[in-house]
Amino acid sequence: MNRKRLLFTLIAAALFGIVFVTFGMRTGDDKKPAPVAAVKPALTVTTTQPQDTNLPVMISANGNIAAWQEASIGTETNGLRLDEVRVNVGDVVQRGQVLATFASDTMEADLAQVRAALAEAEAALAEAAANGQRARNLQTRGALSAQQINQYLTAERTAQARLEAQRAAIKVQQLRLQQTQVLAPDDGVISARSATVGAVLPSGQELFRMIRQSRLEWRAEVSSAELASLKPGMSVIVRPANVTPIKGIVRMVAPTVEVQTRNGLVYVDLPTPGAARAGMFARGEFEVGSGQGLTLPQSAVLLRDGFSYVFRVGPDLKVTEVKVTVGRRVGDRIEIISGLDVSAHVVAAGGGFLADGDRVRVVEAAAVKSAASSITTATQ
């Protein structure tokens, strides 16, 4: 019995030892620190730094596009029927081109009547001239009294005057006949039409309006404090709504300023033909000089809630969202007025996919372009 108990005790002790050693080894393994998982970058980016750039100094203004000069084309005849209208709004016309015609029957009849009166005056003058010549020949012989001679000579001068009057009347009737055709006073484009076929119009009634030489101008409203900086010949960038920007030239600066608004007009010639139309509203910038400023690519600046932001990359490759104040834009670069120093490294593109505190992987711009071209090739 003692041997059995001793055997059981040894077996139990051995089992206890095995369990203790096994449990201790597992407990020791559990106490080892777990490996830390590496943080993956949120995006692969390139960085850029603000650059000191020579920027133009601009003066901004608003205004309307209008015709350089507008001609009013009307009728010079009175009480004639409009017989034909040959042009419409938008037609380009040349100087002297027939735009409309009036019925000329009455004028042609009047001209024929005046021509007949001219022939009668010529016959009367011939008779009076012959009588006057005979009176001059008989003046020295005493066959006619001085009174009779004076009457013949006076009749000759009267007939001559009547002939001149009839010739003038013919010129008047010919001019009135020419006025039955409405002619373009200059090259240009028809901007308005009120002529209606069949209408009987009084003299002076407007039929068409025309933009002379198809020239347009931008009439910019500039504050009186900035007018002194503008001179004729300066270049201007005019930006009408939904139209490609237009380059214009300052033609004239108004000599007066509006009393109520304290603004003056600046007249800017626009190239023709162009996409601009008279009556359009446009914004524009006058280039009055140049100055230095810090700039970034426009792709590096994000617009959120009406404010501009950039993502600054720190030494630990974490990005920080920084609010900046922007200014002038030249080409693909934008001026940074405040919020960033010249030594800062910012994300050059793709900031819209980042959040404040994200870790990024920074590579050279050439590597990014090569990877992008590889992706494009693979998808084709």
Residues 6+ away with beta carbon under 8 Å from 104: 80, 177, 180
* The pLDDT of residue 39: 64
* The pLDDT of residue 17: 53
Higher pLDDT, 76 or 375: 76
Higher pLDDT, 144 or 121: 121
* The pLDDT of residue 215: 92
From 193, 214, 235, the end of a domain falls on 214
Q: Are 47 and 362 in contact (CB under 8 A)?
A: yes
Structure-token pair, residue 135? 């009176």
* The pLDDT of residue 145: 75
Domain assignment present for residue 344? The answer is: yes
Omega prior to 273 cis, within 30 of 0: yes
Confidence of residue 56 (pLDDT cuts 50, 70, 90): confident
Domain assignment present for residue 21? The answer is: no
Domain assignment present for residue 17? The answer is: no
Number of domains in the chain: 4
Higher pLDDT, 9 or 48: 48
Higher pLDDT, 54 or 185: 185
Same domain flag for 86 and 197: yes
Residue 227's CATH number: 2.40.30.170
Domain assignment present for residue 123? The answer is: yes
Same domain flag for 236 and 254: yes
Domain assignment present for residue 14? The answer is: no
Same domain flag for 145 and 240: no
Quickly list H helices, the chain: 2-30, 105-138, 146-178, 224-227, 365-379
pLDDT at 361 over 80: yes
pLDDT at 366 over 60: no
pLDDT at 266 over 70: yes
Domain assignment present for residue 328? The answer is: yes
Same domain flag for 123 and 250: no
Same domain flag for 97 and 184: yes
Residue 367's CATH number: 2.40.420.20
Residues 6+ away with beta carbon under 8 Å from 262: 223, 224
pLDDT digits (tens, 9 = 90+) for 272-316: 767 888 999 999 999 887 788 889 998 899 988 889 999 999 888
* The pLDDT of residue 216: 93
Domain assignment present for residue 318? The answer is: yes
From 253, 275, 290, the end of a domain falls on 290
Quick one: which of 241, 261, 377, 329 has its CA closest to 55?
329
Confidence of residue 221 (pLDDT cuts 50, 70, 90): very high
Same domain flag for 153 and 119: yes
Q: Are 309 and 322 in contact (CB under 8 A)?
A: yes
What is the Cα–Cα distance from 342 to 335, expressed in whole angstroms? Answer: 12
pLDDT digits (tens, 9 = 90+) for 3-23: 556 555 656 555 555 544 444
Domain assignment present for residue 146? The answer is: yes
Higher pLDDT, 379 or 266: 266
* The pLDDT of residue 79: 87
Same domain flag for 279 and 323: no
CA dihedral 85, 90, 96, 101 (to 10 degrees): 10
Same domain flag for 306 and 371: yes
pLDDT at 264 over 90: yes
* The pLDDT of residue 275: 81
Residue 130's CATH number: 1.10.287
User: Residue 89: which domain range?
Assistant: 77-102+180-214
Helices 105-138 and 146-178, axial angle in degrees (round to 10): 160
pLDDT at 373 over 50: no
Q: pLDDT over 70 for what percent of the chain?
A: 84
Do the bridges between strand 43-45 and strand 360-362 make them parallel or antiparallel, or are there none, so unpaired? Answer: parallel
From 191, 214, 237, the end of a domain falls on 214
Same domain flag for 248 and 232: yes
Mean of pLDDT values over 370-378 = 39
